[in-house]
Structure 1
Amino acid sequence: MDKDQVIGSAKVVKGKIKVAVGKAVGDAKLEAEGKAEKVEGKVQNAVGGIKDTIRDA
C-alpha cells in the first residue's frame, strides 16, 4: 500500500467530517471545503493505487 493511498483515505474521512459538521451548523463554506477535501483525497488515493500497481508490475 502506497503512502498516497493512506493519506488520501485520511483526507476523505476528514472531508466527510467537515461536510457533516458544516451541514449541522449551517456553514456552507465548511461544507464546501469538506467536499473539496473528499475529492482531493479520492484523487490522491487513486494516484497511490496506480503507483502501487506500477511498482508491482
Structure 2
Amino acid sequence: MSASVNQEKCIGCGRCEDVCPVGAIKLEDGKAVISDECVECDACVGECPNEAISL
C-alpha cells in the first residue's frame, strides 16, 4: 500500500515530489502520481497545501 493522491485537489505544485525521500512521487500531466516505491513515511501528506495526499 502507498499514499494516494486526490487528483481533483492536486494543484501540481511539486512540493510532495521535492520532499519525498525515496523519489516515489513524480508529476505527470501537472498532477502528482505516487509509485509503488512509496514507503509511507508521511512526508508528502504534511507538505501538501491542498490536503490532496492521504495514506
Q: TM-score, normalised by structure 1?
A: 0.28
Q: Which has the higher helix share?
A: 1
Whichever of the two has the greater Rg, that structure is 1
Task: Name the structure with the higher strand share.
Answer: 2
Query: Normalised by the size of structure 2, how large is the TM-score?
Result: 0.29
